[in-house]
Amino acid sequence: MIVLIAKYHVKPGNVAAVLGHLREMSPKVAASEPGCRQYQVAQSNDNENLLVLVEHYVDEAALAAHREMPHFKDIIEGKVVPLLDKREREILTLQIG
């Protein structure tokens, strides 16, 4: 299982908009990406402008396919990324769980 941890450092005043876009994204992932087993978003308790996405994919191919989906290009690249100061991503391989 491949785990993607993405940290979205949202520009101040844009968290509600980004969360709205991510709420739009989640059902699209569930409906059209069988290789994505988990897609969750959490907000930092210490920094309201920090959102962390936790995504689980069955393999590297499923993660690569996610990045090519029309909803990823439209919502994440088109709507979310412009509202971020910075985006950090870490790809891990699940060992226990």
pLDDT in tens, 41-65: 999 999 999 999 999 999 999 999 9
**Tokens (6 digits) for 7:** 């940290």
pTM over 0.75: yes
Q: 2-93: which CATH number, 3.30.70.100, 3.30.70.20, 3.40.50.720, 3.30.70.580?
A: 3.30.70.100
Instruction: Give the SS3 label for residue 38.
Output: strand
Residue pLDDT, tens place only, 5-35: 999 999 999 999 999 999 999 999 999 999 9
* Residue 94 vs residues 36, 38, 50, 55, 58: alpha-carbon distances, Å: 14, 13, 24, 11, 10
* Residue 35 vs residues 38, 78, 81, 84, 94: alpha-carbon distances, Å: 9, 23, 23, 27, 15
